[in-house]
Each structure stands twice: as C-alpha cells, then as structure tokens.
Chains A and B, each alone.
Chain A
Amino acid sequence: MKAKIILLLFFLFSVSGFAQNLTVSGVVTNSEDNMPVPGVNVIVKGTSRGVSTDFDGNYTIQVNRGEILEFSSVGLKTVSITIGDQKTINVSMVTDIATLDEVVVVGYGTAKKRDLTGSIVSIKGDEVADKPATNPIASIQGKVAGLSVVNSGQVGQAPDIRIRGTSSRYDVGPLFVIDGIFADNIDFVNPNDIESIEVLKDASSLAVFGVRGANGVIIITTKTAKKGEFKVNFNSSIGVKNIVGAPDLADATLFRELYDEQLVNEGAAPFSHYDKFTGNTNWVERISNKSAFIQTSNLSIQNATEKNKLSFGLGYRMEEGLIKDEELQRITFNLNNEYNLTDNFKMGLTINGLQDKLPNTGSFSSSLNATPIVDPIHFDARPEFNGLYNQLPAQIGGPQIGNPLLVAEVTKNKSIPQRYRFVGSMFAEIDFLKDFNFKATIYGDYNNFRSRSYTPIVPIYVSETDEIDNFNGNQLTRVNQSSSTVFNFQQDYILSFAKEYGKHDINAVAGFTTTQFASESISGSVQHDPGSSAGIIPDNQRFWYLNVFPYGDPSTRTSNSSQSERATSSFLSRAIYNYDSKYLLNMSYRRDATSQLSPENRAQDFWSIGAGWVATQEDFMDNIKGLSYLKIKGSTGVLGNQALPGGTNYPYYPGVSQGATAVFGNEVIPGFVQKFEENPNLQWETVRMWETGFESRWFANRLMLNANYYNRKTENLLVFVDTGVQTFFDNFGEIENKGLEFEMSWDGEINDDFSYSIGGNLTTIDNKVLSTFEDAPIFANGTASRTVTGQPIGSFYGYIVDGLYQSNADIASLPPSRLGAYAPGDFKFRDVNDDGEITPADRTLIGNPTPDFTYGFYANLKYKNVSLNIDFQGVYGNEIYRNWGNGNSFAQFNFRTDLQDRWNGSGSSNWEPRLFSTNYNRLPSTYMIEDGSYIRIRNIQLNYSINSNILEKLKIQQLKLYANVQNLFTWTKASGFTPEAGGSPTSFGVDGGGYPIPVISTLGLSLTF
C-alpha cells in the first residue's frame, strides 16, 4: 500500500515537470438554477496554481494534459476534471449535502448529523483555542442557542452554565463528557487540545445519558492525529486584563458629609476622630492589580501512521487576577495513542495531567464597604509605628471590616493551594461479524487538592488610641494543612451495530456502564504555645506544616477527615434509523441504578423517542426555489437529574452531625443528632421534555435557518426541606422551562479574496415554578431570592417602593406600616394586598433573574489572509438584585455616590432615602432592583496568516498571528462592576459587588510545522 502511494506521488511529481501547454476556460454554473457562480476556486490539483471565477462565473487557466482541475466553493460539491484535449470546460456544480453529512459526537459513539432528530450544536476547537479564558465554555458564551453562560472575572472560577433554563433547585450544571469520561467540570482540559465541543440539548440526544442527562450534556473531544499526518504546533499568547465599570462610591468629602448628616438624623454625637482619619482612599483602586497579566504557551505533536495514531500536548498558563497577588499557574499535558493490532482490532490509551498552583483569591466587596477617610498605610515619625496598616475607625466599620489592603497584601496570601489531577482511559475495540463492533473502556480520574495555610499575627495601627493592635485581635499563630482527593472510576462496555438494507439504514448501540466515586479528605491544624519560649510559628512557608518543631504545640494539634463513596450501574441502548435518508427515527432507553437511594427504589428508567422528515429529499420539494435542505423534527422523553444539595452524599442514610458535642464541665462528649429524616421513597427528579423544530439551508447552503420550540418540565423535584427546625429530603414540586431557539447564518463571498459570514442566535426562556415547598427563611437583611409556586425560580421577593414619605402629614395619610419604626425620608412601601396596613404580606414579586431572552451575533470578514471577527452577546429582560452598597446594621459602610441626592427635607428626593442606620430602608424592595439587560462586544479578533510562499522556504506549514480584545464594551444599566451575576439555581442574579469582568487584550501566534 505504502509503495503504491509513493509511486503515485512520484508520478504526479514527474508530470508537473512538463511545460504548461494548454489554456482552458469556461463558465461555472449552479445546477439548481443554472446561474453563474462567482468566486469558485479553480485549482490544479497538487500544485499551488489556481484562479477563481469572475462575477459572471468565467475562468481561464494554464494547464497540462493529464492534470486534474478542481472546482470548489463553499456549499457546493467539489468537482474534479482530468484535462484531456478540450479547451472549454463548463462546469455545473451541485449543492453539497455533504456539509450536512457532518459527523457529530453523540453519547457512546458518533452519528451523521442529518440522521439525528434532536438538537446538537457542534463547535470547533479552534473557536476556543485562541480565546483568553481558562475554561473553554466561557469562550462560547453567546454562541450557542439555549446555552446560557454567566461568566465570573475571578481567575479559575468556572462560569455558571445552564442549558435551556433552570430546571432544579440544586443542580443545573450540564454533564461534561470528555473523551468518554463523565465529569462535573472540565478544569483539566486545555482549550488548545480540543477538537470539538458538542452541546446536546434535547431528549432525543440526552436520554442515552439517563439520570445524568436532564441538564444537557457538553461533550468535549480532544485532538487525535489524522491518518497520514505529522504535525507540530506551537502557539503562545500574552494578554492584559483591565477593570472597567467600577461602582461609584463616595470619596472622603462626600462620606463625611453623608455620615455627619446620618449621625444628626440619629441624634447621635458627631464623629470625634476626623482629625485622626484624614485620608481619601479609593479602596477598589488600591487593592486592584493594574494590567493583570496572562500568558499561555502550548506545544502539540500529532503523528499518524497506518498502524498507530499518536497525539501529544503540553500546555502552560499563567494568569493574574484583578486583585493584588492572585496568580494561577497551570501545566497540562496529554497523551493519546491508538494502535491497530489487526485490521479489526485496536487498542488505545489517553492520559491527561494537570498541575495547578491555585490563586489566593480575594473579593472586592470589603473595598466597596470600607470608608474612604482612612489611609491604607500609617506614616509616622516613630519607626515602630511607621508603615503599619491602619485600622478602620472603631465607629466606622473597624471591628467588622478589615483593612482591605492588608487582606489583599498579607492575610489572603498566607496559603498555598495546589491541585493535581490525572485523567486517563484505556480501550480495546473489535469489529466482528461485518456489522458489529464491541468496545470496552476503563477510565480513571484522580483529583487531589491540597493546601497549607498560616494564620499570622499582623500588627495594625489604631489611630484613636495611638497604639498597635493585632489584626482581628489574633494572638495565636496557626498552621492548617489539608489534602482532599476524589477518585472516579468508570467502565463502559458498548456493542454497536450499523447496517444498510436497501433503503433502510440502522445504527444501534447497547451497553453497560458503571461508575464508582470516592472522596477522601484529611485536614489538621496546630497552633503555637503562648507560654513556650519557642515563640510564634514563623511567617515562612518552610514552617507551614502540622509537625512544626519546636513552634507547634502538640497538645493543640487537631486532625479531621471526611469521606464518602457512591456507585452507579446502568444499562443503555439507542437506535438511529432512517429510511431513504427521508424519514428518521431515533430511540433511546437507559436504566440507572444508584447506591445513593434506598435499595427498593434505586433504579429508574429513562427514555426518548424522536422523529424527523427530510422534506427536501421528496421529489415534490424540488421546485421550491432556493431551498437546499429542510428537516422537520421532534422528540420527547423522560430524563433524570441526580440533584442533591452540596455536601450531601447519602440522601437515604442520614448520618449523625459531626461536631454535635455535649459539654459537661470540661468534658466534651460526642452527641447524636440525626442530620435529617430518612425517606425510602426518595427518587431522582425527572425531567419530561419535548421539542419540535426545523433545520434548513437556502440558496446553495449559504443561508442557514434553524428554529426550535422546547419544553422541559421537571417533576418530582428533589427538595431538601429545611423548616429551620427539622430537615427532610422529599420529592415535591414541578418547574417548567419553555421557549424558542433561533439560529441563522449567512456565508457570502464578494470575490475570491474577500468573503464574509454573519449570523446569530436567540433563545427565549420562560421559567415557572408550578409547585414547590415554600422557600426557607427570609431574613430582613438577607437577599430576596425566593422559589415559590407560580413564579420564576429564584424570583426576587420584596416590597414595592412608591417613593418616600415627605412629611408626617404624608405618613398620617397613608396606611400605617408594621415593619418597624419609620419617619419622613423613609420608603413608602405599597399596600399590595390593600388591607390598610403595610405588613410582610405586602411583599410580592419584584424581579426575575432569568432573562426573557439571550442572544449573540457575529460578523466574520476575510480578505486574503487577513480576517476580522466580531461577536456580540447579550441578555434582555432580567432583573438584578443589588446586594452591595445598601449599608449594614452593624457596621458603617461607605455610601454609593447616588446618595448625594438623598432625602434631607420635604421634596428633596422621592427615591434616595434619608440617611439612617436602621433596617427599614434595607428591607428587600424595588429600590435594590436594577435592569439586568446588557449587550456586550464580546470579542474583536484580527487574524493574519503569513503568506505560504515565504513559509515554505522556512519549512513552516502555517503561521498565524492574532490580536483579540474581549469584553471591550458593555452597554448596561447595572450599577455594579458587571451585570453578570451567576449563583446557585435558587439564588442568582444577585450582585454582591464581588468581582468585575475585565477587558482582556491578547496577542498570540500559532506556528505549525
């Protein structure tokens, strides 16, 4: 075989040695409408000689006899013609259905996209490789209909990902399947190693994942070598991140004005220490890391021979956070090897490794709260006082808010968190009896997180008393050490069958799979002995161990462990059938059994059925102008979700609370407090979903137009009922998510050099809790998120503010309030239930954190070897609950600049309340509600591929340079750092003011040998 190829190559080579002695010309037309096609590439195969058709479809080219001319264009089938004696070659090109023959990765195998009845969106790895995010899913925000991604600006923090709405109280994140292994996150995957990302959204695609399928599945396939290929790629990028959109807070002058007025309002004595606090500090600026740096480098080698496919990758990433001294360092490697032992038998293995030096992350929230009148650092003529951090005034947050700069520069950094993860698999695969294939795979995932940390004694300067205190009053140094490991073991045994009988085409799989999950963590601490001459444990990483001699006091050493395990075993099956590529039928069934539920109820069944009709395959559709492809489809099924609140491992076996300890005198005796009531009838929640829609291509496949209606109803919601007194697990309640998804794109070519594409997607989400247990406690000062019947999940619940009371007469004329003391300048809460008084019964729905719709759109322009990509992303119609800048009833916080327009006399304001430190105006209300809609320029990217002629001399296949700006601008009305606020399934869209989304500017290059 090899010899033949070489011979062929030799032949081609030698032919090209002849002189070019023939001029061929002609017209290229489209077979559908016989119209000329401009911009068709006409290339002599195996050479770099080529031209393209002009606006009227004409071309002229110099060729030799025996050479092959290739005609190619986007959306049309490539045509090859061997040159004989003819001088005119007119070509009629047909629409390329082949692009629809695209193979996508589905669970436990691959399938032709055209055969599927469900909704799967496939994204090429290239799209995420050159984006600055650590997490590849963060990079596809706004690019997939139905996929909601709410990013965090914090280094290494995974985005909040939801597919087609919020369908559970505890777990809404999709399942990740990385080269076959199930995982809850994709930390260990280097974006550069990804070949493709498939997002599975509907019953028909998901049922094969059974109890793990209800929240959608994201399948990641990493790169493997392609047959006959030897490729070395090196790429590298550098970037900087900058904070934008910092909230507007009072400076020292405004703070003093507002605080003085507040004290007057409260009848309190004026603040007597302004002379000692003369600073004017912008804490956000002081703790932030200007131009935080990102750097990545990746090397990959791919080699494939007839027998063996090898792929190897190495990646390095360094990323700084937006607060001082936050830094992630990540090294990843992977190895992927596949070997054909015989024609019908192959084996392979993959190994992925990751080492993380994790960042010591901080938050901006205390810098939003700290008063600006304090200088971060104290300067003093006395050397022992000079350079100490200042404590905030005792009356203005001192005891509650630590100096934010001290936290950012000192205490935050006294820990060394690290992670090691290895994920690997091995398979053997055999083809037999012509149509059958059996594949056995075992997977292992080892994930170790370890940390050493130190509690220092930090001196801090107290201005009021002119003395040095210890930060946080801490008098003891302490070391904590911990290690926690998660082991995951999975095995898949899959039998596949594929056959065509005449017009019948069937593709079926059946399999058995198990998972075993175990988690073990140990931790300990030790502190110094204040009575010993050894003194404190030194502030030096070398000493941060449990056995630290002679500083650690052995009698203070503590040790703890926590551990859990679980297992599942499942049977799965799926059939994908089509008749004449016209009528499609997909069916799946899976039975999952788990160790976590009671033995009588541990197994549950899941299924789906989908049907489709490729209308354009029918003869009578031929004369519809412009329509190249139309599939009408629908699917329905029942899927599961193993939704458990965090930290629960054994919902059927309530253990006893750790730390339930009775004290008698100095004796400490462990007590027995049952964690919750057991429930033998407990089941995983089920999601009943259906969808219907169409996929279409128009105008020689240039226009794509898809639309879907989806409906997902979660039944038997798993609820951990906490009445505040007793706790239970139960199945109770229903949530419905429904909406429409649209996708559209247009690929166009102006001429041979200049092409473009535009497109976009839009998803509507209508979320409603049909029934549930009422939510747990709402504290007067807490957040407002609620999950109640008849409203969207996580709705904001509170009072409606109808302005401010302007006078006592105003108060007297309106219904009395039972919510606490109030006076002119306080909120007029609306008497919603019209019972003549303001009570907690007047709280109502004041906001919905789920957008009405989310969308993204893009434009790509390509001129010769330069391309420019711009994409936008946004959400519309949701509300944000502002949970920062509202003050606090224990500590005096800084004020939002908005409060310079506060009420301070009749008619002075009807919205910003008087300054007063009780909770009346802090009750959750429409005052804290902000419009969450935004639109963002997500990426602007310029790519440049260096001309291949130059590269050939340097033996380089490809050299690409690019520059990217992410999050360049956001149009938003939200007053916090960012309108993006993820969270838990039942509390999201709450802006705690914690962390901005930065603008990231990156420069990169990619070099392929």
Chain B
Amino acid sequence: MKNIKLIRKLKIFSLVALLAIPFSCQDDFLDRLPLGEVANNEELGVGGQEAAMFGVYSLLNRVGGWERFWFGSIRSDDSQKGSTTGDGAAFGTAFNDFQYIPTIGLNNIWWNGHYEVIFACNEVINNIQEEGLTDPGSLANDGEARAIRALMYFELRRDYGEVPIITATIDVPSDAFAPKSTIADIDTFIKNDLLIAEANLPQSWIGFPGRSSSGFAKSLLAKLYLYQNDWSNAYNKCKEIIDSQVYSIEPNLVNLFERVGNNGVESIFEIQQTVTENGESFNTNYFISQGVRGTGEWNLGWGFNVPTTNLVNAFEAGDKRKANTLLESGQDDGGFGGGVLPAHPSVLAQPYWNKKAYTMKSIRTTLAINGNRWENIKIIRYADIILMAAEAGNESGLAPQSEVVGYINQIRSRAGLPNTTATGQGEIRDAIKQERRVEFALEEYRFYDLVRWGDASTVLSGLGYLPKHALFPIPQDAIDQSGGVIVQNPNY
C-alpha cells in the first residue's frame, strides 16, 4: 500500500516537473537578436555615420586588387602580363592583346567592386541628409563619402565611359539598376560631389593617416578637369593645391615605394595595407600578384605586370627612376638586401620585374612573410599634381613657360636628371608626356594618358589596339541583371 502511494506521488511529481519547464507561449521566447554583434536597426555607441564610414574604407579593398593594374597598366605599351607562359594566359590575351571579353571575371569584380563602394557611400550620404545632421563630424563624413564616391565614378567613367549614376540607398534590388548616364552628366555629378567634399573635409585627420582629405578632393577634381581637357580649371586647381603647401615631393625615391613611404609627404590618397604586430594582414593581392615569381626566397609573388623592353629603353641615361622601377633577373637587387636574383631564362621566366612592388629583405625577414602585404596602393600622389599643373599650364597658356619647365624640373631633379631643354608649347608637351611615362611607369597611368592624349591608336596599334578599346565592355552580368536596362558599349 505504501508503495502505491509513493508511486502516485512520484507520478504526480514527475508530471508536474515536466510541465513546469518554461511553457513558452509568451512572445519574448521568440525575440532573439543577433548575439555578439549589433543589428542594423540598433543604435551604435559611436556617433553619426563614423562607423559606417570606416566600413566604406574597409570596402576600398574591393577596388584595390590586381584588377587595378590589369585595367590600368597591362593595357599600356610599357607593361605586359608577366609570370610564366601559361599563367593567366586568358587575362593576358584580353588585356595585353586587346581582346576584351565582357564575361571575363576581372571585369565583373572591377565593376561590382566600384558599385559596392558607391552604394556604401550612398548610405552614409543619404543617412546624413535624412537625419538632417549638420555637426562638423557628420559633415566631414559626408565629405569623405562624396570624395570616395567621386573616385569610384571617375574610375568607372575612365574604363567604361557611360555608366549608370546610382545615388539611392539600395533597399530593393531594382534600386540598383538605372540606364547609363552621359559622360557630361557623370562629370557634373562627380564635380558636384567633389566641391561639397572639398568644403567639408579637413586638410588632414589627427590619428587617421591616409584618411580622405580636402586635398584629395581637390586633386581628384583637378584630374577630372584634365580628363575633360578643361585646362584652365585644371591648372587653377593644381595651383591651389601646390600653393597650399600641404604636400611635397618625397626626396628619396627608394622610400616612395617602401613601407616607410606609406602616407608620406607626397601621398594624397592611398588604399591602406598593413601587417599588424600580431601578424594579421590587411591587404589585397595587388602587390603580391606583382612580386617576383621564383622559388625559395625568390618566391615573392605571382610575377604579373612586368616591364616591356619599350619601357626599359624609355629611361634617359642617369635616370635614378630606372633602378627603382626595374628589377632585373640575374642582377643584384640594388641595395634592398636580397642579393642577386636568379637568372633569366634558366630559372626565372621574366627578365624584368616591377620593382615598385619589391620590398626590403629586412622587412621580409622580420615578418617572416615573402609577399608584399604592407605597402599602400597609390591612388594619387603629389608628383601627379606637379605634372598635371605643368600640362594644364602649358596647354591653357595660363602659366608662363618658366613655371611649367620648373614643374618638370622639380620631378627630374629628384630622379637625378638635369633640367629639361624643351622650349615652346609643343616640345614642352612632349617633355611632359615623357616625364609622366617614366615617373609613373607600371602604376596605373600610361594607358589612360595615351587615350587622353589621343596617342593610343599610334602607340598601341602594334598590340592590336583599335579606337573602340579606349572603353572596356560592360560586364555581361551587369547587363543581364539589369534586364537590359544597361546596354553594352558600342562595338562589343
């Protein structure tokens, strides 16, 4: 009898115990916010759009990959694919030999990367507008978002010509599609962004080296004017930057393309790369893909974007830039501490490599990393402003010849060269072209300059260049996704 009672008690007790487990009809059982991260609709500790703006900077890596030199450098007469024969052959034919294909992967990444940054900028700009923020911090955020957005549109316009202008915050997919705008409209749009940015941005940021500044906005505007052949505006803008005396020419050429030169005196805007103390890398493949393709201690990268013989021969005798641009197989690395490179062709596949991507041996040893993950990617440097001032001054006639020649000589003297002997607008024009060619060799200048000067058809004809190749075809996916709202560039 006792037993039965016990069992009854046990039975009731256990049933109750089971049912006592939180019977979760109430709604808060289903309220589960993300753990360990803020959700988008939550207030952030950091004010305004600051954190979102940092997000924009982090996205710059999307446009800081090797696409940059495939588009900007390999298409020129001074640079070629590099690496071993078969490596990247498809990209080689597309970019080196002007057999553009709208479906090539690099094209998608380049296009999408730019719009991704643009949309992130839109979000910041529109939020500031919608919330009516007018504090200096928010205005500066607005300015930097506009400057970076302008850079994106400028690069898109330079590579594709007419592209859609999207200013909306993207809420539904269709927000991201619009028909192409004319070049004139795009330029007006870029100019408007840059004028606002110029007004809102500080000259520099304390504690944030390399952050978008008013000087960057002005420089980009000067460059836009130059691409429009609006010589007087270009000249005036360059003059304004020069007169502000914020920037100067880095006296030591070696430092310019080394870690110590990151955010140096000549830097106007760079995509930031770093290896932190605990060995974490924040970098793209931009420099690694240009490192020497060897084995062992000469396995520095993938070996793309290498000089052509054309470029090797383009340097005047005594030009210090030659040794800082060309890294020669079978020769000593010239004071960088790495010793003699293996020979070409018995070991290395290329006779020359891009020395601007090369690094000091001591840094490699300290970090125990071979590939260059620590050098910033130069977007605009002060030397460009000086040479743009020279070109615009010369073309517009606004600058006396002495001033123009002075600019050229400023660049030449750093390279250890005597003053130029050019006189008269035509000769000076040629001198400027030559100076830009060697100063910015293997950076993303030459192809765009040739197109801008109208020289591409002559200089590049041997490589298969036709006038239509000034513009790249728009990625097939972008056209497909827009449902045909975006139309392909002519002749593709």
Contact = CB atoms under 8 A, between A and B. Distances in A.
Interface of A: 263, 266, 268-269, 272, 341-342, 345, 347, 391, 394-395, 398-399, 426-428, 430, 440, 442, 462, 464-465, 467-470, 473, 475-476, 491, 493, 512, 514, 527, 530-531, 555-558, 561-569, 593-596, 599, 602, 649-650, 653-658, 660-674, 677-678, 721, 723-726, 728, 730, 773-774, 776-782, 818-821, 840, 889-892, 917-919, 922-923
A726 B11 contact: no
B355 interface: no
Contact of A442 (B21, B103, B477): B21
Given A467-B295, A567-B30, A725 B345 contact: no
Contacts of B99: 820-821
Contact of B108 (A468, A527, A779): A779
Nearest to A888: B86
Contacts of B172: 677, 728, 730
Contacts of A674: 40, 55, 123
Nearest to B59: A673
Q: Which of A558, A661, A662 has the most chain B CB atoms closer than 10 A to its own CB?
A: A662
Given A557-B278, A653-B41, A781 B21 contact: no
Contact of A890 (B86, B263, B365, B366): B86
Given A666-B276, A780-B90, 7 more contacts: A428-B15, A562-B36, A662-B58, A664-B211, A673-B58, A723-B176, A778-B476
Contacts of A655: 34, 37-40
Nearest to A475: B368
B278 A840 contact: no
A730 B85 contact: no
Nearest to B15: A428
A658 B119 contact: no
A735 B261 CA distance: 57
A672 B277 contact: no
Nearest to A460: B295
B87 A890 contact: yes
Given A530-B368, A567-B32, A725-B119, A665 B274 contact: yes
A777 B274 CA distance: 30
B462 interface: no
9 contacts: A467-B296, A476-B279, A562-B36, A566-B32, A660-B55, A664-B207, A666-B274, A779-B105, A821-B93
A423 B492 CA distance: 60
Contacts of B31: 595, 599
A473 B477 CA distance: 36
Contacts of B310: none
A590 B172 CA distance: 32
B302 interface: yes
A587 B335 CA distance: 84
B370 interface: yes
B280 interface: yes
A555 B278 contact: yes
B218 to A, nearest CB: 20
Contact of B32 (A555, A562, A565, A821): A565
Contact of A656 (B27, B55, B477): B55
A668 B276 contact: yes
B14 interface: yes
A456 to B, nearest CB: 14
Contact of A728 (B173, B262, B274): B173
Contacts of B272: 662-665
Interface string B109-120: 001100110011
B91 interface: yes
Contacts of A665: 208-210, 262-263, 272, 274
B402 interface: no
Contacts of A726: 115-116, 119, 170, 173, 176
Given A595-B30, A781-B105, A891-B87, A818 B492 contact: yes
B485 interface: no
B35 interface: yes
B135 interface: no
Contacts of B119: 725-726
Nearest to A916: B89
Interface string B368-389: 1110000000000000000000
B295 A662 contact: no
B101 interface: yes
A594 B93 contact: no
B30 A473 contact: no
Given A263-B85, A473-B370, A919-B90, A673 B55 contact: yes
B40 A654 contact: yes
A678 B85 CA distance: 47
Contacts of B123: 674
A947 to B, nearest CB: 47
Contacts of A493: 19
A782 B90 CA distance: 13
Contacts of B94: 820
B346 A272 contact: yes
Interface string B313-349: 0000000000000000000000000000010011101
A672 B293 contact: no
Q: Which of B40, B205, B302, B366 has the most chain A CB atoms closer than 10 A to its own CB?
A: B40
B245 interface: no
B22 to A, nearest CB: 9
A923 B10 CA distance: 72
Nearest to B87: A890
Contacts of A678: 40-41
Contacts of B263: 665
Nearest to A665: B209
Query: Nearest 9 CB-CB pairs, A to B?
Result: A671-B54, A662-B57, A919-B90, A671-B55, A672-B51, A724-B112, A673-B55, A663-B272, A665-B209
B398 interface: no
A395 B87 CA distance: 8
B296 A440 contact: no
Contacts of B105: 779-782
Nearest to A818: B492
B39 A341 contact: no
Given A442-B18, A673-B120, A660 B59 contact: yes
A797 to B, nearest CB: 11
Contacts of A918: 89-90, 93
B466 to A, nearest CB: 13
Contacts of A476: 279, 368-369
A671 B58 contact: yes
Contacts of B37: 655-656, 658
Nearest to A669: B54
Contact of B279 (A399, A556, A596, A602): A556
A394 B295 contact: yes
Given A663-B272, A723-B176, A917-B86, A780 B55 contact: no
Given A430-B15, A667-B208, A725 B282 contact: no
B342 A567 contact: no
A662 B209 CA distance: 11
Contacts of B209: 664-665, 667
B363 to A, nearest CB: 12
Contacts of B208: 664-665, 667
Given A269-B345, A469-B296, A889-B88, A569 B24 contact: yes
B102 interface: yes
Interface string B48-88: 00011111111100000000000000000000000011111
Contacts of A427: 18
A462 B296 CA distance: 9
B459 interface: no
Contacts of A347: 14
A175 B104 CA distance: 40
A658 B35 CA distance: 13
Given A399-B293, A469-B296, A889 B173 contact: no
Contacts of B36: 561-563
A531 B364 CA distance: 12
A564 B411 CA distance: 57
